[in-house]
Amino acid sequence: MKYTTLPNTDIKVSKICLGSMTWGEQNTEAEGHAQMDYALERGVNFIDTAEMYSVPGNPNTQGSTESIIGTWLAKNNNRDQVVLASKITGPLRFFEHIRKNLNFSKEALNDALTKSLKRLQTDYLDLYQLHWPERGVNVFGVRDYTHNAEWEDNIAQVLEALESFVKEGKIRQIGLSNETPWGLMRYSEEAKKGAKKMITVQNAYNLLNRRDEIGLSEVLLREEVGYLAYSPLAFGVLAGKYLNNNKPENARVTLFPNYSRYSSEQSNKATMLYNEIAKKHGISLTQMALAFVTQQPFMTSNIIGATNLDQLKENIDSIHLHLSDEIITEINAVHTQFPNPAP
């Protein structure tokens, strides 16, 4: 395994992070435990979760992923061996079963954090993230920005509330998710005034969605903020499993057809071309897609997700693959032809 640190901290994390959002829906508790056992054995020490997991969002399974991680930590008594990240849910009416005040007020943060810590059976989180902004932003498959003039800037107040939990020892570091260049710079502005700094951004990034290279990547590097990539395989599309209209049994897009973010005609055409590059060079599309993400200069850790141990092994093994300049050139040629078909 390869390691780095969360920027400007002594928190050592593996370059591969174990995602967990299927545990409690597509995966049982025993399967989640087996994935964590195997990942830790392979040197993965970084686990990412959220209060809203498992997915899809469901009142009956909300919090199940954190509970599965909690029973694993309690069983193994190994909290000191893992870096644990979770998230508070942002405003979205679909998730009002979690709490009515889906915002980042101190009251909401306290409610979310207290319940997450209880489910996780720990007294602190290494990284606590805002799952998506309170203001409207163009994420989750939305390409163009629509301005929300009603949002009132409360960034300073959010940071003040988060810092109070840092001082209590419940959080070590804080981060963002599904955030834009403006959002990160706004938080960084407060940090330069003395507020607690957001040290990471967790966004979707993969061969079909490279839009963060356009503006956010420079901000990350110049502001010394880490980047955590989720959906590096684009809901499994970049594993090639859905090529030629295949619908594998128990695969996510088969089970949940509304997860269509990476299933457009343009995305399918691009995926076919990426698959041809992988075949030409004798590597799997899965590992090529993951290696591309991991070796980006702004990348801190690549959040993989698997529903079985064979997938998990292949995903973790991608850490040993470094794509040559020739392969990168061929990938970029496809990207020029089909730029960001799935933002």
Q: Is it the case that residue 266 has pLDDT exceeding 90? A: yes
Domain enclosing residue 32, as ranges: 3-233+299-320
Q: Is it the case that residue 254 has pLDDT exceeding 90? A: no
Residue 157 lies in a domain: yes
pLDDT at 247: 78
Residue 253 lies in a domain: no
Which are the catalytic amino acids? 53
Distance separating alpha carbons of residues 306 and 35, to the nearest angstrom: 8
pLDDT band at residue 143 using 50, 70 and 90 as cut-offs: very high
Residue 77 lies in a domain: yes
Q: pLDDT (tens digit, 9 = 90+) per residue, 160-171?
A: 999 999 999 999
Residue 286 lies in a domain: no
- Mean pLDDT value across residues 126-133: 98
Least confident segment among 55-69, 179-193, 243-257: 243-257
Residue 260 lies in a domain: no
Q: Give me the CATH number covering residue 115.
A: 3.20.20.100
Domain count, the chain: 1
Residue 35 lies in a domain: yes
**Residue 128 in contact with residue 176, Cβ under 8 Å?**
no
| Structural tokens at position 171 | 């959080």
Distance separating alpha carbons of residues 230 and 131, to the nearest angstrom: 12
Q: Is it the case that residue 259 has pLDDT exceeding 80? A: no
Query: What Rg value do the Cα atoms of the chain yield, rounded?
Result: 19
- Mean pLDDT value across residues 93-102: 93
What is the distance in angstroms between the CA of the first residue and the CA of the last residue of the chain? 30
Residue 186 lies in a domain: yes
Residue 96 lies in a domain: yes
